[in-house]
Amino acid sequence: AAAFDVRAGCAGFVYGLVIGTQFIANGTYRHVLVVGAEIISRFLDWCDRDTCILFGDGAGAVVLQVSEQPTGLLTYQLGSDGAEYDALFVPGGGSKHPFSQEVLDQKWQYMKMDGRRLYRFAVTKMPAVALEALSVAGLSPPDITLLIPHQANLRMLQSICQRLGVPEEKVFINIHKYGNTSAASIPIALCEAVEEGRISSGNHILLLGFGAGVTWAAGVIQWGVS
C-alpha cells in the first residue's frame, strides 16, 4: 500500500480525511486508512507552563471505503495563513535552524505557542469556516447531530460553539482526559463518540480543527457505518 505523511498540525486529520476521500472518489483506491498520531511530549519544555500542561500524546484512525450510499465526507473547507506561523511552532531542528548548540541553548527544539493569538484567531475564524462547510452541504448548525472539534482549549471551544449556536450537549469534549493531542484529537473523540452511542447511521457530524501553520479544516460527515 502507498503511504505518506500529512503535516498540517492540529488540522492534519481532517486534511488526511479529505485526501483519502479524493482517492476513493476518483476511483484510485477502494480502501484508505487515515491515521492521526502525535508524540508531542518530545517537543515540550517541561519548564514552560504555556505548553507543557496543555498537550498530550495519542493516536486514532478510521477506514474509508467505497459506498454507493451518500455517506462519508460530504463537504469540507481547508485553509492556512502563513503570516500567523509563529503563533504555534517549533523554531529549531528544521532547515532554517538545524540542530546545533545554539538551538539547544535557546531551547528552540521545543514548541512555542502564543495562546492569546491562537484564541483570538480560533474564535473568529473557525465559526465562519464551519458555516461555510455546512452551507455547501445544504445544512445549518441545527442539522448537526454532533460537533467533534479538535480538543484545544475548553473555553475556546465554548466560545466557538456559542458563536455557531450549537448547544454544549451537541459537542463532544474529552480534553479533560487527554489534553490537546493535536492531529489525534478528532479521531480519538470520534471513536469515543461511537462507543458511547452518540452517533448513528445517517447522522451528520461536523469536524473542526485548527492549529500550527496556522492551518484550519472543517468537514461535514454523514455517518454510514451500520
- Give me the active site residues, please: 10, 150, 180
CA–CA separation, 93 vs 100, rounded Å? 8
3-class state of residue 207 by DSSP: strand
Phi, psi of 144 (to 5 degrees): -80, 130
11 and 211 in contact (C-beta within 8 Å)?
A: yes
DSSP per-residue string spanning 63-98? EEE--SSS-EEEEEEEEE-GGGGGGEE--SSSSSS-
Task: Kindly report the number of other CB atoms within 10 A of residue 149's CB atom.
Answer: 27
Backbone region of residue 180 per phi and psi (left: phi > 0; alpha: psi in -120 to 50; beta: other values): beta
203 and 223 in contact (C-beta within 8 Å)?
A: yes
What grid cell was written down for 205?
Answer: 457530524
Q: Which residues pair with 31 in a beta bridge?
A: 65
Residue whose C-alpha cell reads 482549549 in the numeric block: 153
Q: Which secondary structure element, helix H or strand E, spans residue 206, and what is its range?
A: strand 204-211
